[in-house]
Chain A
Amino acid sequence: MNGQLDDGLGAELLRTMWRIRAFEERVGRLTRANEVHGLVHLSAGQEAVAAGVCGQLRDDDAVYSGHRAHGHAIAKGAPLARVLAELMGRDGGLCRGLGGSMHLVDVEHGFLGATGVVGGNVPLALGSALAGRLQGGDRVAVVFFGDGAVQGGIFVESVNLATLWGLPVILVCENNGFAEFTPRSAHTNVERVSDVVAPYGIERETVDGNDVGAVRNAFARFLAAARAGGGPALLECLTVRLRGHYEGDPQLYREALAAEEWQRLDPILRLQRRGLEEGWLDADGPERLEQEARDEVEEAVRVARESPFPPASVAAELVYAP
């Protein structure tokens, strides 16, 4: 375990991670009940990356994500009920039901958006970073993507351009070892994503992505440099995707993770064990934080269910900006 966590910070990280976990588990059930009707990709198991990164950002920093975006949106501050209403296709959703799980956007909280085509989001963050630099100030841009995106030309093009122009963008790779349904070994001979970018002279680090302290510390270093006028960085977080690629994925391509193994890896349980050991979390803390998160998610379910479906006119009205 890495980094100094005091009472307040440790609990805050746990709270965020539990909110994501409880949300994702509830979405899984809502998907099976067909209340969430479309394609969803859950981030359970990867919460430490979202919490460790987004907790350090401001609303005026831009975050982009990909198809597995719920956790990033939540960690960046998107209200649970509005994320869930979006997944349920309701008018009260973040995007009035026009985006859905893979296209969440919450401008108010600087979550500029999730895109559904692997790698397609990376250059968008460069644009936000360029805008921040041109407008002055110390805003940064962050883009989350999986290890599957790294084999695409768009990734290398973007790394080249970001380093060439010294843009304040931090590329955060969630390396969960699977590109959709395929193990990394079937995609590339390069084991570490941080090695792919080595020739560009970009700041880079690979960390245990299930150790929220390690994620937080490494990201803090890159963030401080970017805020101070520095250039891009790449943070590779080795993590575990607890669910399939999508909800309903039979996962024929991998062995189920043993329960004991997951107990050891789970970023939430790890942080709770640490909190108990270090004394900043009391014995009741884990159960209390989990329950608070689950209650909050149930309240979000209640609110989202009350939101109506959007009127049909919206389907044509928003194709073009006026």
Chain B
Amino acid sequence: MAHELPYIAAIEEAIREEMERDPSVLYFGQNIATHENDPFLKQFGPDRVRVTPISETAEIGMAVGAAIAGFRPVVELYMAEFMLVAMDQVVNEANRFHYMSGGQVTVPLVLKAGYGFTAGWAGQHTGTIYGMFMGVPGLKVAVPSTAADAKGLMTTAIRDDNPVAYFHHYLLTLEHGEVPDGEYAVPFGKANVAREGGDVTIVGIGWTVPRALAAAEQLAADGVNAEVIDPRTLNPLDTDTILGSVAKTGRLVVVDQSTRHGSAAAVIAAEVADRGFGSLKAPVRLVTALEATVPYSEPMEQYLMPDEPKIVDAVQQVLGNAPVAA
């Protein structure tokens, strides 16, 4: 059975259900549980649900310590950029402890970070920065694109014995979708083939998955049958599913809201070039954001972003139907 929920509520449902199931799950964050009617605070009490000062480094570091001691903290960071304040804890402590201890300790920790809020939030609250984290050994990276995955990937993130950076896209916050009832876990490292097709493979990430699906519908009207793949997690990355699709279609477009050189798209393109070159009938195209800070002005913001026309154009290029831009 399933029920309809907005993406953001699906995330909260997963956290609540895991907190009900497992008393070791804690929930920390700035500005959470600031009043006595907060539903998490009412249900789970002040020991497990804690508002923290604006001290990302101490907050995340403390969560790492609690994880080493056997708890499963979920840290609410609101903005992905706030993790940058605490980079040492995220990419140099949490992720390395299991390894450097020779496997003696585990760090089951979820860093819940919203990203990509290109809705007038300007340059410091809009970044699509998962690319910074996907090459960090010991850290896992989840990027849900649907309400169902938002729940299922959060459940898996909480149950995982490694630190997980869970990136939820702010422009998807109120997007509704069918969400399975009860316990629902989506495995990490298993891409979702969101649309099957044989002419071209389009890989989308997070918010660009629905953009890619919309572009695929436009292309279908022109007789182009695109396959759309959502990796769901960037680390682990399901390279096999992408390679399998490219083996079938021979053409690849990767769509990513990140800046080009910091994107997951660049890594995916490199993997296909390295391991699937023989399948390619055309050069790979990347549709990414401009290499720029997200501007405040609304039309400028739109100009920066990957959108359906840019995806359609890139697909026509790899099909040889449109000139390749210089």
Residues of A within 8 A of B (CB): 62, 64, 93-100, 103, 105-107, 112-113, 115, 117, 120, 122-132, 134-135, 141, 153-154, 157-158, 160-161, 164-165, 318-322
B107 to chain A, nearest CB (A): 8
25 contacts between A and B (CB under 8 A): A94-B102, A97-B102, A98-B101, A99-B100, A100-B100, A103-B96, A105-B102, A107-B104, A120-B88, A122-B61, A124-B62, A124-B68, A126-B61, A127-B71, A128-B66, A134-B26, A134-B47, A135-B70, A157-B57, A161-B53, A165-B50, A318-B103, A320-B98, A320-B140, A321-B98
Residues of B within 8 A of A (CB): 26, 47-48, 50, 52-53, 55, 57-71, 73, 88-89, 92-93, 96-108, 137-138, 140, 161-162
Does A123 contact B57, Cβ atoms closer than 8 Å? yes
B49 to chain A, nearest CB (A): 12
Residues from chain B with Cβ under 8 Å of A319 in the complex: 98-99, 137-138
Residues from chain A with Cβ under 8 Å of B101 in the complex: 94-95, 98-99, 103, 105, 107, 113
Task: Determine the distance from Cα of A320 to Cα of B141 in the docked complex, in whole angstroms.
Answer: 13
A20 to chain B, nearest CB (A): 22
Does B53 contact A98, Cβ atoms closer than 8 Å? no
- Contact A123/B103 with A157-B53, A160-B58, A321-B161 known, Cβ cut-off 8 Å: no
Task: Determine the distance from Cα of A96 to Cα of B99 in the docked complex, in whole angstroms.
Answer: 10
Does A131 contact B66, Cβ atoms closer than 8 Å? yes
Beta-carbon nearest neighbor of A99 in chain B = B100
Residues from chain A with Cβ under 8 Å of B105 in the complex: 105, 107, 112-113
Residues from chain A with Cβ under 8 Å of B140 in the complex: 320
Residues from chain B with Cβ under 8 Å of A130 in the complex: 62, 65-66, 69
Beta-carbon nearest neighbor of B108 in chain A = A321
Residues from chain B with Cβ under 8 Å of A62 in the complex: 65, 69
Residues from chain B with Cβ under 8 Å of A123 in the complex: 57-62, 64-65, 89
Residues from chain A with Cβ under 8 Å of B26 in the complex: 134
Which among A100, A129, A153, A319 has the greatest number of chain B C-beta atoms within 10 A? A319
Residues from chain B with Cβ under 8 Å of A95 in the complex: 100-102, 104
Task: Determine the distance from Cα of A135 to Cα of B26 in the docked complex, in whole angstroms.
Answer: 13
Known: A96-B102, A157-B55. 6 other contacts (CB 8 A): A113-B101, A122-B61, A123-B60, A128-B65, A318-B102, A321-B103
B238 to chain A, nearest CB (A): 15
Residues from chain A with Cβ under 8 Å of B92 in the complex: 117, 120
Residues from chain A with Cβ under 8 Å of B98 in the complex: 318-321
Beta-carbon nearest neighbor of A133 in chain B = B47
A273 to chain B, nearest CB (A): 40
Which among B58, B88, B89, B161 has the greatest number of chain A C-beta atoms within 10 A? B58
Does B100 contact A127, Cβ atoms closer than 8 Å? no
Task: Determine the distance from Cα of A82 to Cα of B66 in the docked complex, in whole angstroms.
Answer: 26
Q: Which of B61, B71, B102 is close to A131, meaning CB atoms less than 8 Å apart?
A: B71
Q: Which of B65, B67, B70, B100 is close to A105, meaning CB atoms less than 8 Å apart?
A: B100
Residues from chain A with Cβ under 8 Å of B97 in the complex: 105, 113
A200 to chain B, nearest CB (A): 12
Does A320 contact B138, Cβ atoms closer than 8 Å? yes
Does A134 contact B71, Cβ atoms closer than 8 Å? yes
B317 to chain A, nearest CB (A): 37
Residues from chain A with Cβ under 8 Å of B47 in the complex: 134
Task: Determine the distance from Cα of A239 to Cα of B71 in the docked complex, in whole angstroms.
Answer: 36
Does B102 contact A127, Cβ atoms closer than 8 Å? no
Task: Determine the distance from Cα of A87 to Cα of B53 in the docked complex, in whole angstroms.
Answer: 38
Does A158 contact B103, Cβ atoms closer than 8 Å? no
Task: Determine the distance from Cα of A123 to Cα of B64 in the docked complex, in whole angstroms.
Answer: 8
Does A161 contact B64, Cβ atoms closer than 8 Å? no
Does B65 contact A126, Cβ atoms closer than 8 Å? yes
Residues from chain A with Cβ under 8 Å of B108 in the complex: 321
- Contact A127/B69 with A95-B101, A99-B100, A160-B53 known, Cβ cut-off 8 Å: yes
Task: Determine the distance from Cα of A97 to Cα of B102 in the docked complex, in whole angstroms.
Answer: 7
B20 to chain A, nearest CB (A): 17
Task: Determine the distance from Cα of A47 to Cα of B40 in the docked complex, in whole angstroms.
Answer: 47
Task: Determine the distance from Cα of A265 to Cα of B125 in the docked complex, in whole angstroms.
Answer: 54
Residues from chain B with Cβ under 8 Å of A154 in the complex: 57-58, 61, 88
Task: Determine the distance from Cα of A167 to Cα of B284 in the docked complex, in whole angstroms.
Answer: 54
Residues from chain A with Cβ under 8 Å of B67 in the complex: 127
Task: Determine the distance from Cα of A117 to Cα of B58 in the docked complex, in whole angstroms.
Answer: 14
Residues from chain A with Cβ under 8 Å of B73 in the complex: 127
Q: 9 tightest CB-CB pairs across the interface, nearest first?
A: A127-B65, A123-B61, A131-B69, A157-B58, A95-B102, A96-B102, A105-B101, A127-B66, A124-B65
Does A322 contact B61, Cβ atoms closer than 8 Å? no
Beta-carbon nearest neighbor of B65 in chain A = A127
Which among A93, A100, A105 has the greatest number of chain B C-beta atoms within 10 A? A105
Beta-carbon nearest neighbor of B47 in chain A = A134
Residues from chain A with Cβ under 8 Å of B66 in the complex: 127-128, 130-131
B229 to chain A, nearest CB (A): 23
Task: Determine the distance from Cα of A106 to Cα of B103 in the docked complex, in whole angstroms.
Answer: 11
